Amino acid sequence: MESAPVLPRIAAIITAAGSSRRMGGLKKEYRPLSPRQPGPRGESLTVLGAATLAFAACPRIGLIAVTVPEDPSAGEEAARAALPPSLFEAGRPLYPPVCFVRGGPTRRASVHKALAFLASWNPAYVLIHDGARPWVDGGVIERVIDAVMRCQAAIPLLPLTDTPKELDDAGFITRHLIRSRIGTAQTPQAFAYPAILRAHEQAALLEERDGRDYTDDAEVWGEFRGPVAAVPGSPANRKITFPEDLAP
């Protein structure tokens, strides 16, 4: 009798440690979606609740870590209140465990702290997702998981519809870029673990020494580890930055 295949341990990090300054000081991840989007029991979902549920519903995800602000008033207690109660059912839980990690002063630092937190669980792969992207769907998550298992690093990418130009400091066009070779990055971004943890450790050293700034985790991987594969993203997988972005 053949034994069942050993499935890789896959974790997800949901980032929600930012201050939401461009939302007028209101913590965007904790705001309800409008129009009302129902949860498993008909309750109204928040931005963070919808994003987290998308990963909790994926049977390949074994653990979820949510980064929260250092400020206690918006920390673990507030984040837990923004999530549907079904995520924390005892006994026979419907979903994988959800843990909370206090973030750092930047998004990269917050992700780094969450990656270090996952060391005791020792996943094979980790998906890193913006908590302000509530409309991520299972298809994008599955595509990224399949790709990271083949390539060690993968992100969803949307093709551009307009032709991009590169400018100099004076505002003049210096290059007419080829649209078919450029896309906009989305999340979740997925990586082999612990290689992405080691890459973040190296990035932290450069930040401290040279004042470097990294815009996403794919940039961190690309600088310290190697190529990143791209899979099709989704136009619906938008990120909420301003209050008007809450509209569907």
Instruction: State how far Cα 248 lies from the chain centre.
Output: 20
Q: At what angle do helices 195-210 and 217-224 cross, to 10 degrees?
A: 90
Q: Dmax of the chain from CA atoms?
A: 71
Q: Which of 70, 144, 131, 140 is nearest to 98 (CA)?
A: 131
Could you give the C-alpha distances from 183 to 14, 131, 175, 234, 240, in angstroms and in order?
23, 21, 16, 12, 19
* Each residue's pLDDT expressed in tens, for the chain with a length of 248 residues: 566 566 789 999 999 998 766 666 678 999 998 767 777 777 789 999 999 999 999 999 999 999 999 888 889 999 999 999 999 988 777 899 999 999 999 999 999 999 999 999 999 999 999 999 999 999 999 999 999 999 999 999 999 888 899 999 999 999 998 888 899 999 999 999 999 999 999 999 999 898 889 999 999 999 999 999 999 999 999 999 888 887 76
Q: Quick: pLDDT tens for 28-70.
A: 999 998 767 777 777 789 999 999 999 999 999 999 999 999 8
Residues 137 and 54: beta-carbon distance below 8 Å: yes
Q: Tokens in use for 74?
A: 């918006």
Sort residue 152 into left (φ over 0), alpha (ψ -120 to 50) or beta. left
Residues 127 and 190: beta-carbon distance below 8 Å: yes
Assign 191 to helix, strand or coil: strand
Looking at the chain, list the stretches that DSSP marks H as alpha helix, in order from N- to C-terminal side. 47-56, 76-81, 107-117, 138-151, 195-210, 217-224
For the chain, what is the total number of helices (H) and then of strands (E)?
6, 10
User: How far is Cα 107 from Cα 65, in angstroms, rounded to an integer?
Assistant: 14
Query: Tokens 């997925």 label which residue?
Result: 190
Rounded to two decimals, what is the model's pTM?
0.93
Query: Tokens 């209101």 label which residue?
Result: 26
Query: How many CB atoms are located within 10 Å of the residue 200 CB?
Result: 25
- Residue 7 has φ and ψ, to the nearest 5°, of -85, 145
Q: Tokens in use for 194?
A: 């612990």
pLDDT of residue 67: 97
What are the DSSP E strand ranges found in 32-188?
63-68, 98-102, 125-130, 153-159, 165-167, 173-176, 183-185
Query: How many CB atoms are located within 10 Å of the residue 8 CB?
Result: 15
Q: Quick: pLDDT tens for 172-181.
A: 999 998 888 8
Paired residues of 32 in beta bridges = 46
What's the CATH class of domain 10-246? alpha beta
